[in-house]
Amino acid sequence: MDGVLREKGHDVITAQDGKKAREALEGQKIDLIISDVFMPTLDGVRFHSFVRAFTDARDIPFIFISGHDDAHLRGLAAESPNDYFVRKPAPIEDILALIDKVIRTSTQGKS
């Protein structure tokens, strides 16, 4: 997916696991986080909790992606205007449309 996002003009930072993703947040300006739920070292739910509780990225939109249709995650995403849930496999066009919508919405909110 990162190749498609780059082709669409997005700058992309990738991390192999939640711990490396957490480290990538340090000193970076991030507009959107897309995270798999099941990752080694630090899963997506714990990574999300870290982002929301301990970083300057509290209000950055966060998209969970998972192959499991988890009611808890859907509920978590529904509770926050900055959190979203996508079930894999989702067509890349649907994911790109969500990303565009999220970026547009967060940009409008900062105006």
94 lies in which domain range? 2-105
Is 11 part of any domain? yes
* Residue 111 confidence (pLDDT): 43
Is 110 part of any domain? no
Tokens (6 digits) for 69: 């249709």
Tokens (6 digits) for 35: 């995270």
* Residue 97 confidence (pLDDT): 92
Give me the CATH number covering residue 97.
3.40.50.2300
Whole-model pTM?
A: 0.82
Query: Residues for the chain: how many in total?
Result: 111
Task: Provide the number of structural domains found in the chain.
Answer: 1
Is 63 part of any domain? yes
- Residuewise pLDDT in 10s, the chain (111 residues): 788 888 988 888 888 888 888 888 887 888 888 888 887 787 888 888 888 887 777 788 989 888 877 777 777 777 778 888 888 888 889 899 999 888 888 766 544
For the packed helices 44-54 and 18-25, what is the interaxial angle rounded to 10 degrees?
20
Which runs of consecutive H residues, i.e. helices, occur in the chain?
2-7, 18-25, 44-54, 71-79, 92-110
For residues 33 and 51, the answer to whether their CB atoms sit within 8 Å is yes
State how far Cα 80 lies from the chain centre: 13
